[in-house]
Structure 1
Amino acid sequence: MATVELTTENFDKVTGGDGIVLVDFWASWCGPCLRFAPVYDKQSEKHEDVVFGKVDTEAQVELAARYDIRSIPTLMALRDGVIVFSQPGALPESAVESLISQVRALDMDDVRKQLAEHASHEH
């Protein structure tokens, strides 16, 4: 499956559904981003059940600001509309593979419970 270009118009629709969505925040002037792109594309072909999105931080400044992206590339993973991972840095292919396995293995009921507990402690 090819990567999907994410914009402010389609981001919430693409990332808010069930299943796993990876998001690569990148820019054309960023060397590590350009080196990471083929790794990301290759993974998108191996994992057809995962949506691989890309956000061009130059074109989508609002999205980069919404998620406080300060360093690129940043890879974010969502499952069932919940952000479960976000980390800057170009990952090697084995790390992307490992991340996908870990996100697949999550107990989302447990994740939502922890999020609810965390939110209740903040008030």
Structure 2
Amino acid sequence: MTERKPPGVDFESWVDKQIRDAEARGEFDRLPGAGKPLPSDVDATYDELWWVKRKMAREGFSVLPPTLALRKEAEDALEAAANAPSERVVRRIVEEINVKIRDVMFKPPPGPPLGLKPYDVEEVVRQWRAARQ
């Protein structure tokens, strides 16, 4: 839909025509959830930003403060290191997360305190080796 609205045509009727034309072409037929009601959280209280939060989750955006997101990323990094195929990969994973942790340690955090210090690479590698034996 890259056409421009013709001059003199009411914007609403032009948009309605674009939607009707797309519907006639079948462009809405195979959308996820077509013909089904929107999912609702029966037990949850109404949140007017529910669709924004759902879109952010679908797109992989975090709604957590940066330090809490980094805590989660650090936990995931340790898990990834434990499942890594080689010692070289373990070292790379731990060193990358340590860089991020040090950055937050030496800059004032925008949210709650991080509460982490960099991981001991050698200790993580020792644990990785022990789990492999």
Measured against the shorter chain, the TM-score band is: under 0.3
Which structure has the higher relative contact order (CA within 8 Å, separation 6+)?
Answer: 1
Structure number with higher strand proportion: 1
Q: Normalization by structure 1: what TM-score?
A: 0.26
- Specify the structure having the higher radius of gyration (Cα): 2
